Structure 1
Amino acid sequence: MKKIINDPSSVLDEMLSGLTFAYEDLVERLPETNVIHRKTAQNKKVALVSGGGSGHEPAHAGFVGKGMLSAAVCGEVFTSPTPDQIYEAIKASDEGEGVFLVIKNYSGDVMNFDMAKDLAEMDDIAVEFVIVDDDVAVEDSTYTAGKRGIAGTVLVHKILGAAAEKGASLAEIKELADKLVPNVKSIGVALRAATVPEVGKPGFELAEDEIEFGVGIHGEPGYRREKIKPSKDLAKELIERLKSEFQWEKEEQYAVLVNGMGGTPLMEQFIFMNDVKNLLAEEGIVLAYKKVGDYMTSIDMQGLSLTLVKLEDGQWLDYLTAPVTTIAW
C-alpha cells in the first residue's frame, strides 16, 4: 500500500485538521468532534445536516456552507458516524427553524441518524429527514436493506440547500425531499477497488482487463463482471439500466452528474460524459443541467457513477443553478 498518510488510525483526525486549516474562512470543526460546521452567516433558516463514513471526499464536508449543508458529520473510513456526533451537529446547526437530515440508505447511517433525531427532539429541536436510495444497481447489498445511497445524494444536498436558503420551512423541505428522491437515480462501474488505509489492500480483486458493473461506494458487490469495454459501451450499459428505471419519454428534462470515484482522471470522465450526451440525445432526452467531477468518491477506486435527476418541477433546475459558498461545489 502506497499512500500519503502517517498512522492509518489517525487518518480522519489529521484530514479534518488539514481541511479546516485550509478553508478556515468557510468551515470550522466543532471541538472534540468530527463535525464540520459552516462559518458563513446564519439567517434564521432551516439547517441541513448530512454525513457518513469518511473516504468519500469531498462528500460530505466539502458541501458545507452557504446554500448547501449547515454541517457534515464524518465517521471513520467507511463507517457510520455515531449518534452523539450527529446530535452535536444538529444542536450546533439549529437556527430556530428546525433541522433537516439527509441520510444515505445504509443500515448504520439510518439507525444512528434516527437515534440522534430522537435526542434532538428531546431538546425541543424540530427534526425531519429523508433517506436517499438512488443506486439502482442492486436491491439489497452488504450494508443495506433496499437500494444504496450514492452520488445522487450530492444533488439532493444542492436542491434542498437552495430551498432552505430561499426560506422554505421544515415542512416544505420535507415535502420537496419526498418528491425529489424518487426522481434521483444512479449507477456505477468499477475498474479497480479502493484500498482502506487500515486494511492495506484492495477491497476486492479485478483482473487487469476486467470491470464490475454496479459496485457500491464501499466496495459492495455489483451485478456483473466482464471484460473492459470502450467508454461508449459502458455508457450504454448504465443508461439502459437507468432507462428501465425511469421509463422516460422524449423531451423530458433531466440533470446529469458524471461522478469520479477517486482514481479516475477527469480526461476519462469527460470522454464518458460525451458518450452520455450522444446516447441521451438519441433518446430525445433534454439535459438541462450537467456536472462532471469527483463529488462522492471511494478513496482511490477507479471507476465512475452516472446520476440522472428527472426535473419534474422547473424550480428544481433553479435550485441546482443557485449560487453556493462551499469548498467543493
Structure 2
Amino acid sequence: MSVQIKTVDIAPRRQTFGHVARRLGGDKPASRYQEATYDIQATANFHYKPYWEPEFWTYDTRKTAVVMDDWYKPIDPRQYYYATYNIARANMNQAVDRNFSFVEERGLLVKISPEARAALERGLLPLRHLHWGGNMNMTEMCQRGYGTAITAPCIFSAADQLGMAQIISRIGLVLDSQSGTSLDAAKKTWLEDPAWQEVRRLIEDSFVERDWFHLYVAQTLGVNGVLLDFIYKFAEPAFADAGLSVAMLTEFMQDWRAEESRWSDSVVKVVAAESGHNKTLVSQWAAHWIARAVEAVKPLSEALLGDGGKAAIAAGEAARLRAVALGLAI
C-alpha cells in the first residue's frame, strides 16, 4: 500500500475583518494588534445618556477639550493588546519573583542598617498609595476616554500601577518579617508625615479632573514624569545602604518607566501635533502639572536627602526637557 500526501493551498475568502480592511485600504492582512485596536470603540446605538452626566453619551469625544480628527492616530508603539500585554507582564513578574527569592533567601533586607530601614519605610513604602492613585487615574481615563488605541493601554497601565503597589507592599512585608507593621506605618506616613502631604494633595486633586486627556497629561508628565522619577531615580542616595536589594526589588519599576514613557510620549506628541489648539492646551496642562509636582516633591527631597529640594528641581527639569522634546511649548 502506498500513501500519497498532497498539499492544497486554500486562499482565505478575506484577509481580515471588514472594519479593519476599510481603514487599511483593501482586504490586506492585518496584525493582531490592528485587529484588536482599530475601530473597536462603540460609536452608536446607545440606549440612553447616562443619568449622572446627561450632557454626554457614554462614549463621547467631547469629554476632553482637545480635538482629534481620528482618535486612532495615537497608537501604542509597543503594539500591546490583551495577549501580548499579559505575556510581557508574566515574564516580568517571573523576574520579580526570582529577585524576591534571592533577597529573602539571603536575608539582604534584614541585614540593612536601622538608618537604611528608616529611609525605606519613610521614602519608599508610602509610594504604594501613590501607585494606587495612578491606578485610579488610568482606570478613569479608560472609562472616560475615546478610542481603543488609547483606552486599552490605559487599562494596561492601571494594572501596572496596581502591580507596583503590590511589589512595594511585598518589600514592606520582607522588611517586617511578614507582620504588616511596616505597611501600617507607611499608611500613617502617607496620611500624616509633612514630607508627603503635598504629594498626597496633588494626586487627590487629580482625582476630580473631569477632562480625561487633561488627566492623562497630569498623570504621565506630572505624576509619572516627576514624582515617580524622583523616587526611582533622583532619590537613590537616600537608599544607598540598601542599594543592591532595593535595585533588585524595584527592577520592574525601572523597566516600566522606560516602556511606559515610549507609549505616553508618543500619545502626547501625536495629540499635540494635531493642531495649534491642541498644542496650546496640552502645553498649558503639562506646565501646570510639572510645576505642581516639583513643588509637591520638594519637602520629600529635603526630608530624604537634606538637599533643599535640589533633586526635586532636577526631576522637574528632566520632565520639562522631555515635554519640550515632544513638541510642547513650556
Give me the TM-score of the superposition, normalised by structure 1: 0.31
Greater helix share, structure number:
2
Greater strand share, structure number:
1
Q: Which has the larger radius of gyration?
A: 2
